[in-house]
Amino acid sequence: QESVKLRNLRKEFDDVVAVNNIDLEVSAGEFVVLLGPSGCGKTTTLRMIAGLETPTSGTIVIGGQDVTTVPPQDRNLSMVFQSYALYPHLTIRENLEYPLRKMALSVDERSRKVNSVAEMLGIREHLDKKPDQLSGGQQQRVAIGRTIVREPRVFLMDEPLSNLDAKLRVETRAELQELQQDLGVTTVYVTHDQEEAMSIADRLVIMNEGRIEQTGTPKEIYEKPANTFVSGFVGEPAINLIDISKGWSRRLGGDVPSQAETIGIRPENLYVEGNVDSDVRESVDLSEPVSLTLDLIEPLGDTYELTLTDESDTLITVLSRAGRTLTEGTDVEVVADMSKVH
Ligand code: ADP
Ligand code: MG
């Protein structure tokens, strides 16, 4: 269990600045997720921590030791990639043993470590099979097992679940989170999937164009986004970003500072008048109503996603439990939770 500190870390590839002087501290045992769009520098950051990429400038400190110039094999880190490559001709047991081959271990110790990891990942009964006899999810578990078996100081994971189908991805990420908590190993995990990041992280690091836009717990990032990029990148459906010059948004504005150009309101913090539950009405400070045209009603299980427009065709999304009582093409009054206007 070791901390990871990145200080003013930079990586240039020719004229591309992949990572633009980032500072980050990951505490011992923490599960930190780097989240951002494709090309924002997540993989490059991870590869620099692993030692697979040499920084242009800056330092990397792991467990108090400056490892910036230490070769990857001497850092005692483990990296899981999106495309897990198991050795097809080896059994699962042999695949799991592979990372231990260079360690001075007795046959007994080796087999004890492999059995314990296999137990932890629920793949014990598959130890004598070959990879192609296992499902994709089981194979990915073996790949994860291979990184655990060495008991590394830090786990580095680059989109480890993105090759799995949706159901398996959700299951495996819950298992991964549990495993990380049990082992208490400091983890830096990369994804571009905001839902995955929100559900798995102790702390999120939102990246954009090689920079860190904001770090915080999933709750902090969701409730107090630092800027429009962050607010638009987390939350599904996306936050409504409204130009403050539109007359009606000023009325919803609440405490928004007068120099603000854009306000953000999440779809679940807007309500259709006449359909506000009494508990909401009692506990929430609601804005003045604004008249909007209801263009589209889409059922999403127990809620509805409503798409509305104002006179100047600004699109507004509202998540509402009502929906069946509303009619597309009609005008409705919408109110906002004033405490949730950013
Ligand atoms: P992410 O993992 O967030 O998608 P990357 O770290 O892979 O982003 O890439 C960041 C930027 O650096 C991109 O513009 C990418 O094209 C560039 N890049 C990454 N690796 C290389 C490389 N080996 N050579 C040249 N450019 C690279
Ligand atoms: Mg990447």
Spacing of C-alpha 16 from chain mean position: 25
* Domain endpoint, select from 184, 203, 229: 229
Is residue 211 located within the same domain as residue 311?
no
Q: Identify whether residues 214 and 266 lie together within a single domain.
A: no
Same-domain check for residues 200 and 249: no
Rounded Cα–Cα distance for residues 142 and 93 (Å) = 9
CA of residue 47 to ligand 1 center, whole Å: 11
Q: How far is CA 259 from the centre of its chain?
A: 31
pLDDT single digits (tens) 75-94 = 989 887 766 779 999 999 99
Place of tokens 């999440």: 266
Looking at the fold, whether 194 and 58 belong to one and the same domain comes out as yes
Q: What is the CATH number of the domain that holds 312?
A: 2.40.50.140
Whole-angstrom CA distances from 176 to 40, 115, 191 are: 24, 18, 14
Q: Answer yes or no: do 224 and 245 share one domain.
A: no
Same domain, 205 and 302: no
* 122/249 same-domain check: no
13 CB under 6 A from ligand 1?
A: yes
Containing domain of residue 132, as a range? 4-229
Whether 168 and 276 map to the same domain: the answer is: no
Last residue of a domain, one of 196, 229, 262: 229
- Residues, CB-to-ion distance under 5 Å, ligand 2: 43
Average of per-residue pLDDT values in the chain:
90
Q: Which pLDDT score is estimated for 256?
A: 63
Q: Which ligand number lies closest to the CA of residue 19?
A: 1
Encode pLDDT of 16-69 as tens digits. 999 999 999 999 999 999 999 999 999 999 999 999 999 999 999 999 999 999
Question: Are 30 and 88 members of one domain?
Answer: yes
Q: How many domains does the chain have?
A: 2
Atom 23, ligand 1: residue with shortest CA distance: 13
pLDDT score at 248:
65
Q: Which residues contact 48 (CB under 8 A, 6 or more apart)?
A: 6, 9, 11, 19, 54, 55, 60
Q: Which residues pair with 216 in a beta bridge?
A: 204
Whether 15 is in the pocket of ligand 1, judged by its Cβ within 6 Å, is no
Which ligand 1 atom is the nearest neighbour of the CA of 207? Answer: 3
255 with 280, same domain: the answer is yes
DSSP per position, 71-84: -GGGS-EEEE-SS-
Q: Please list, in sequence order, all residues whose beta carbon lies within 8 angstroms of the beta carbon of residue 293, skipping any fewer than 6 positions away.
A: 308, 309, 310, 329, 330, 331, 332
Name the pTM for this structure. Answer: 0.88
- pLDDT-wise least confident of 203-207, 216-220, 280-284: 280-284
Among 229, 261, 276, the domain boundary falls at 229
pLDDT at 249: 62
**Of all helices (H) and strands (E), which one includes residue 143?**
helix 136-148
Same domain, yes or no: 98 and 142: yes
Which of 326, 324, 341 lies closest to 268 in space, CA to CA?
341
What's the CATH code of the domain at 202?
3.40.50.300
How large is the ipTM? 0.99
Same domain for 11 and 114?
yes
Q: In this structure, are residues 67 and 51 in contact, taking their beta carbons and an 8 Å threshold?
A: yes
Query: Is the beta carbon of 78 within 6 A of some atom in ligand 1?
Result: no
- CA of 12 from ligand 1 middle (Å) equals 9
Residue 176 CA to ligand 2 centre (angstroms)? 19
Number of CB atoms found within 10 A of residue 261's CB? 8
